[in-house]
């Protein structure tokens, strides 16, 4: 079978594309750290330049009041659908830095894997559709449909300014479908259609006892230790069946229908491999649910951090005055993040003992849970490409993580988001030694060309 010209173009430019990815990965675009704001802006400019180089028009870096967003389009297919391709060029922080084999922003290729912070999440993935589009524009001089690109620099901090930006730019961003180049595939050689993302809300709590730390001999036993109060408070947030005890927490959770249960049961699960993959001695979760049901269909409340008191070497006989914790909840349809945040905060305030003061600080940015039908035309197109490229039927799965903008796209642009990305679960995203497989990078480029062709024939 003779290859098409675009395939030859991708093959002929492979080394350049890998070099470009490597260059992109040198930007330390950590969105959560103020000292990296300039690097996020530089990465945005890199993306804008790369879009222009690919032949995309109307490229601009849009100000947001926070980290920027990059837009570009090619809209010369009047009777064809319009697809908006999404990704993010910001990254998570790198700590613990000591656990990295090499510096996180000095990309390094070994065994056909490129190692760097952001390699898989999401720079490697978001570059793929740009390269696919370049190959088409260079060889066919046109695209099979209208394409808009929207890349953001604030996904990893919850996309705080995106609701406002997408609302303001809704005419420019109007589309029939969003395709997300942030997300992933199931396993090497095994594709998946993703039908859900969980939502997220976050809060921080602080318990205060005495005006300052106290001598534990002079006062211990006579006043409540805020760390003890915090531990008791947090321990009560789950019952012995693994359910969150906050009143009303599950009120808006849509019950699982028989179809969804059946689809989840159809996905093979190997508990031993799952445990070994992450190094835990046993699995744990809400009673009466399977692991995939817990991950994809049930909300959670997690304590992400807890601190207070003496952390230094040796003993300090102190009764600390302060204790803190960070809490997030993963949410499922139809839970409202602000409402859940309020319920958790109110619960903690109500349950806190009178012997300490409690401050609850809800975080402003949050994400709505998101769902898309497995047979949505966008997913049907993706599945057709999966069959062709992987030679396999995709699993139908959910995603436990969150991409805040998907709910915003649905609400503001009335457009569903199809996941089309190539990261795999073992690529250490958010962790030391993050990497992306170059095989995925290459396969993704071909898959994107096929997806655009398939979507050009879809009816939305
Ligand atoms: N790409 C991930 C989301 C994701 C994770 C999708 C796992 C599929 C599987 C994204 O970059 C991410 O990390 N999102 C954050 C959002 C948060 C910071 C608001 C998350 O899920 O924690
Ligand atoms: Mn991501
Ligand atoms: Mn991420």
pLDDT at residue 294 tops 60: yes
Give dist(CA 415, CA 176) in Å, integer.
6
Choose one of 309, 340, 362: the last residue of a domain. 362
- Does any ligand 1 atom lie closer than 6 A to the CB of residue 421? no
pLDDT at residue 2 tops 90: no
What is the predicted pLDDT for the residue at 199?
A: 98
Q: Could you tell me if 393 and 349 lie in one domain?
A: no
Mutating to test ligand 1, I would choose from 31, 33, 92, 156 the residue with most ligand atoms within 8 A of its C-beta, which is 156
* CATH assignment of the domain containing 239: 3.30.70.360
Q: Is residue 290 part of a domain?
A: no
Residue 60 has, within 13 A of its CA and on its CB side, a CA count of: 7
For atom 4 of ligand 1, which residue has the closest CA? 401
Q: Could you tell me if 192 and 203 lie in one domain?
A: no
Count of positions (residues) in the chain:
460
Give dist(CA 161, CA 64) in Å, integer.
6
Q: Is residue 262 part of a domain?
A: no
CA end-to-end distance (rounded Å), the chain: 32
Give dist(CA 132, CA 450) in Å, integer.
9
Give dist(CA 342, CA 339) in Å, integer.
5
Q: Could you tell me if 316 and 406 lie in one domain?
A: no
Exposure letters 137-170 (e unless 16+ CB within 10 A, then b): bebeeebbbbbbbbbbbbbbbbbbbbbebbeebe
- Does any ligand 1 atom lie closer than 6 A to the CB of residue 90? no
Q: How far is the CA of 182 from the centre of ligand 1 (A)?
A: 8
Nearest to 6 by CA among 147, 132, 146: 132
Q: Is residue 264 part of a domain?
A: no
Strand intervals (E) in 363-445: 370-371, 395-399, 417-419, 435-437
Q: Could you tell me if 356 and 221 lie in one domain?
A: yes
Nearest to 364 by CA among 399, 401, 404, 325: 404
Q: Could you tell me if 100 and 234 lie in one domain?
A: no
- Does any ligand 1 atom lie closer than 6 A to the CB of residue 402? yes
Mean pLDDT of the chain: 97
Q: Is 428 left (phi over 0), alpha (psi -120 to 50) or beta?
A: left
Helix (H) / strand (E) containing 8: helix 5-12
Q: Could you tell me if 175 and 232 lie in one domain?
A: no
- Does any ligand 1 atom lie closer than 6 A to the CB of residue 183? yes
* CATH assignment of the domain containing 431: 3.40.630.10
pLDDT band for position 3 (50/70/90)? confident
What is the predicted pLDDT for the residue at 319?
A: 97
Ligand 1 atom closest to the Cα of residue 200 is 19
Q: What pTM, to 2 d.p., does this model score?
A: 0.96
Give dist(CA 10, CA 259) in Å, integer.
40
Q: Could you tell me if 22 and 166 lie in one domain?
A: yes
- Does any ligand 1 atom lie closer than 6 A to the CB of residue 403? yes
Mutating to test ligand 1, I would choose from 157, 161, 401, 406 the residue with most ligand atoms within 8 A of its C-beta, which is 401
Choose one of 362, 382, 414: the last residue of a domain. 362
- Does any ligand 1 atom lie closer than 6 A to the CB of residue 237? no
Q: Could you tell me if 410 and 424 lie in one domain?
A: yes
Q: Could you tell me if 107 and 243 lie in one domain?
A: no
Nearest to 114 by CA among 44, 246, 18: 18
pLDDT digits (tens, 9 = 90+) for 19-65: 999 999 999 999 999 999 999 999 999 999 999 999 999 999 999 99
Choose one of 362, 382, 408: the last residue of a domain. 362
> By residue range, what is the domain housing residue 72?
5-197+370-456
Mutating to test ligand 1, I would choose from 92, 402, 420, 423 the residue with most ligand atoms within 8 A of its C-beta, which is 402
Tokens of 441: 């990078």
Q: Could you tell me if 167 and 44 lie in one domain?
A: yes
- Does any ligand 1 atom lie closer than 6 A to the CB of residue 331? no
For atom 19 of ligand 1, which residue has the closest CA? 158
Strand intervals (E) in 269-313: 300-308
pLDDT at residue 1 tops 60: no
- Does any ligand 1 atom lie closer than 6 A to the CB of residue 202? no
pLDDT digits (tens, 9 = 90+) for 212-232: 999 999 999 999 999 999 999
pLDDT at residue 274 tops 60: yes
Average pLDDT over residues 122-141: 98
Q: Is residue 161 part of a domain?
A: yes
pLDDT digits (tens, 9 = 90+) for 399-429: 999 999 999 999 999 999 999 999 999 999 9
**How many independent structural domains does the chain possess?**
2
Q: How far is the CA of 221 from the centre of ligand 3 (A)?
A: 45
Q: Is residue 287 part of a domain?
A: no
Please identify every residue whose CB atom is under 5 Å from ligand 3, which is an ion.
121
Give dist(CA 300, CA 328) in Å, integer.
8
What is the predicted pLDDT for the residue at 227?
A: 98
Q: Is residue 277 part of a domain?
A: no
Ligand 1 atom closest to the Cα of residue 367 is 19
Q: Could you tell me if 145 and 237 lie in one domain?
A: no
Q: What percent of the chain has pLDDT over 90?
A: 99
Q: Is residue 267 part of a domain?
A: no
Q: How far is CA 92 from CA 46, 212, 280, 432, in A?
A: 18, 35, 24, 11
Exposure letters 250-283 (e unless 16+ CB within 10 A, then b): eebbeebeeebeebbeeeeeeeeeeeeeeeeeee
Give dist(CA 428, CA 346) in Å, integer.
36
Q: How far is CA 152 from CA 23, 61, 126, 251, in A?
A: 18, 10, 10, 33
Nearest ligand atom owner, CA of 198? 1
Q: Is residue 293 part of a domain?
A: no
Q: Could you tell me if 305 and 171 lie in one domain?
A: no
Q: How far is CA 54 from CA 16, 47, 185, 334, in A?
A: 13, 10, 25, 40
Q: How far is the CA of 354 from the centre of ligand 3 (A)?
A: 39
């Amino acid at each position: 079978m003779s290859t098409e010209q675009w395939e030859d173009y991708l093959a002929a430019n492979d080394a350049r594309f890998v070099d470009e990815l490597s260059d992109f990965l040198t930007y330390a675009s950590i969105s959560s750290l103020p000292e990296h704001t300039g690097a996020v802006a530089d990465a945005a400019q890199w993306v804008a330049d790369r879009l222009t180089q690919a032949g995309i028009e109307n490229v601009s870096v849009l100000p947001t009041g926070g980290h920027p967003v990059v837009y570009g389009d090619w809209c010369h297919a009047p009777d064809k659908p319009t697809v908006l391709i999404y990704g993010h060029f910001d990254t998570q922080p790198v700590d613990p830095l000591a656990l990295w084999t090499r510096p996180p922003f000095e990309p390094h290729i070994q065994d056909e894997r490129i190692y760097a912070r952001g390699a898989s999440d999401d720079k490697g993935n978001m570059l793929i559709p740009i390269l696919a589009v370049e190959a088409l524009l260079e060889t066919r001089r046109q695209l099979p449909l209208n394409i808009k690109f929207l890349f953001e620099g604030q996904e990893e901090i919850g996309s705080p300014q995106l609701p406002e930006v997408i609302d303001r730019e809704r005419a420019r961003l109007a589309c029939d479908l969003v395709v997300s180049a942030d997300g992933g595939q199931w396993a090497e050689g095994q594709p998946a259609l993703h039908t859900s993302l969980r939502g997220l809300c976050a809060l921080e709590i602080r318990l205060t006892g005495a005006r300052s730390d106290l001598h534990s001999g002079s006062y211990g036993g006579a006043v409540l230790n805020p760390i003890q109060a915090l531990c008791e408070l947090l321990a009560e947030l789950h019952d012995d069946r693994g359910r969150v005890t906050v009143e009303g927490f599950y009120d808006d959770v849509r019950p699982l229908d028989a179809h969804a249960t059946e689809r989840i049961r159809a996905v093979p699960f190997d508990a031993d491999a799952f445990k070994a993959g992450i190094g835990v001695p046993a699995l744990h979760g809400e009673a009466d649910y399977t692991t995939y049901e817990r991950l994809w269909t049930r909300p959670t409340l997690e304590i992400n951090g807890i601190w207070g008191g003496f952390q230094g070497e040796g003993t300090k006989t102190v009764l600390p005055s302060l204790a803190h914790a960070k809490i997030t909840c993963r949410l499922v349809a139809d839970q409202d993040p602000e409402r859940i945040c309020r319920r958790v905060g109110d619960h903690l305030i109500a349950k806190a003992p009178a012997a300490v003061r409690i401050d609850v600080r809800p975080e402003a940015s949050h994400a709505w849970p998101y769902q898309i039908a497995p047979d949505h035309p966008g997913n049907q197109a993706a599945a057709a490409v999966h069959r062709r490229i992987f030679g396999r039927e995709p699993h139908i799965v959910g995603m436990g993580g969150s991409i805040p903008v998907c709910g915003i796209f649905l609400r503001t642009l009335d457009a569903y988001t199809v996941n089309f990305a190539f990261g795999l679960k073992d690529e250490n995203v958010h962790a030391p030694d993050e990497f992306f497989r170059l095989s995925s990078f290459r396969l993704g480029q071909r898959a994107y060309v096929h997806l655009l062709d398939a979507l050009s024939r879809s009816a939305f």
